[in-house]
Amino acid sequence: MAPRHRVVILGGGFAGLNAAQKLKRAPVEVTLIDRRNFHLFQPLMYQVATGSLSPGEIAAPLRGVLSRQKNAQVLLGEAVDIDPDAKRVILRDGANFEYDSLIVATGSKTSYYGKEEWREWAPSLKTVEEATAIRHKILYAFEWAERAKTEAEARAWLTFVIVGAGATGLELAGALGEIARETLKHDFRHINPTEAQIILVEGGPRVLASYPEDLSAKAEKLVTKLGVEVRKGVMVTNIDENGITFKQGDQTGKLAAKTVLWGGGVITTAFGKKLGERTHAATDKQGRIKVNPDLTVPNYPNIFVVGDLATLDGKNGKPLPGVAQVAIQGGAYAAKAIRARLEGKHDLKPFHYFDAGDMAVIGRASAVANIFGFHVSGLPAWLVWLFIHLINIVEFQNRVMVFIQWGFEYLTFSRGARLITGPSATDVDKQTQAAVAAQASGKG
């Protein structure tokens, strides 16, 4: 028997995992390599950060997902280099893996626009550890406000700044509004959590810049209703432990806030850079690899790049957005292309992104959505959002429980996962910061 075609997939996110699953019946040997042993349902990360869900509830062990797929194996490891001519990836521990086809789906990391030092004070929402760190920051802020000795100190602990009003920033701001106004309402004796100030800061002229203008306006209105103050046209010039400094038009200002969260953009990872260098591929400003219409790297037809690490223009001439649907469809396309080639078919149509629309959730029963060009907001948009995620997560891992629990907490305003874990709860500020920094530096 001839040795089987070896497909190596780097990354078990939406793109990589879907590619692996779509190769189930293909005559190939799939090796899925990831640094983590679990797939993460990213769209619900903000729920972990805000204490509604536990990390375990939005994650599925990769081995579990693929355990019945006989032609697939999962490997815990981190790709650090590639030799595209020898068709080999190199892991951090020195191990080499040869492939016949490679699907790179290693994703992106948070960009601080060159100010890596901000990461320490303003965690983003990219990994489970960061989500947990954000949760700690938020919950500790109220604890520290409760014990503050001066009015100004309490005020700084009760001021929350979210930088960047994209979907992530809005989700965080909305959830924070609910935490302060509902969840913690009765929990303190010396402070009034409902007086917390939640400020969403955006450099551009509107929130949700990539959405149609009417939905941006709607989203701003909805999040304002939750007690969030939206400030547009504000460029953050510095972030440290005491808050942010910013520029607004010609003026500069300061905002004293002990809790700053980062809803900014993404950039390529160290491995993404390496891949670009080794294949001499062109990249965009964020370092994403410009792929062919069939998602392969120019001159390397056996290397597919899918998900956040790739960039390709869509029908409208604009690059496809870095969202889950593009990753899922890209992964499926790469799998299909490999299957087709093995069957001797080389006339596969270019990748076409089927764009069902965008949506951003703003709070309990509140969202905005652009579905096939229809603009919806408020409860109807939220129901659509819920339905789509329900379908996705249930299909994916039969996690009906998450949604039962979640519905339950939505109805009761409770948040079951309000745990602050870590070495100890005293001397907390330094520790939270250190933890965030340590976790952040472990990435990259």
Confirm or reject binding of residue 192 to a second copy (CB under 8 A). Answer: no
Buried b (16+ CB within 10 A) or exposed e, 207-231: bbeebeeebbbbbbebbeebbbebe
Shorter beta-carbon distance to a second copy: residue 139 or 337? 139
- Per-residue binding letters, 312-341, with a second copy (x by CB under 8 A): ------------------------------
Residues 22-51 that bind a second copy (CB under 8 A): 34-38
By CB under 8 A, residue 54 contacts a second copy:
yes
Asked if 430 interacts with a second copy (CB under 8 A), we say: no
Which of 6, 24, 55, 388 is in the footprint of a second copy by CB under 8 A?
55
Q: Which of 2, 3, 85, 93 binds a second copy (CB under 8 A)?
A: 93
- How far apart are CB 183 and a second copy at their closest, in Å? 8
Q: Which of 139, 219, 297, 306 binds a second copy (CB under 8 A)?
A: 139
Q: Which of residues 160-189 bind a second copy (CB under 8 A)?
A: 184, 186-189
Task: Find out whether 411 and 99 touch, Cβ atoms under 8 Å.
Answer: no
Least distance to a second copy, CB of residue 63, Å: 4
Q: Does 434 bind a second copy (CB under 8 A)?
A: no
Residue 92 to residues 39, 78, 278, 440: CA-CA distances in angstroms?
A: 20, 6, 17, 18
The residue among 221 and 418 lying less far from a second copy, judged by its C-beta, is 418
Instruction: Kindly state the smallest distance separating residue 386's Cβ from a second copy, in Å.
Output: 18
Whose Cβ is closer to a second copy: residue 30's or residue 305's? Answer: 30
Residue 401 interacting with a second copy (CB under 8 A): yes
Amino acid at 408: F
Number of residues lying near a second copy (CB under 8 A)? 65
Neighbouring C-alpha atoms within 13 Å toward the C-beta of 28:
30
Tell me: does residue 419 bind a second copy (CB under 8 A): yes
Q: List the one residue from 192, 194, 210, 414 that touches a second copy (CB under 8 A).
A: 414
Site string for a second copy, 237-266 (x = CB under 8 A): ------------------------------
The pair phi, psi for residue 322, each rounded to 5°, is -85, 65
85, 372, 421, 430: which one binds a second copy (CB under 8 A): 421
Q: Which residues are catalytic?
A: 171
Which residues pair with residue 7 across a beta bridge? Answer: 30, 101
The tokens describing 88, both together, are: 């080999």
User: Given the rule CB under 8 A, which residues bind a second copy?
Assistant: 34-38, 53-57, 59-61, 63-64, 67-68, 73-78, 91-93, 95, 128-129, 132, 139-140, 143, 146-147, 184, 186-190, 399, 401, 404-405, 408, 414-428, 438-439, 442-443
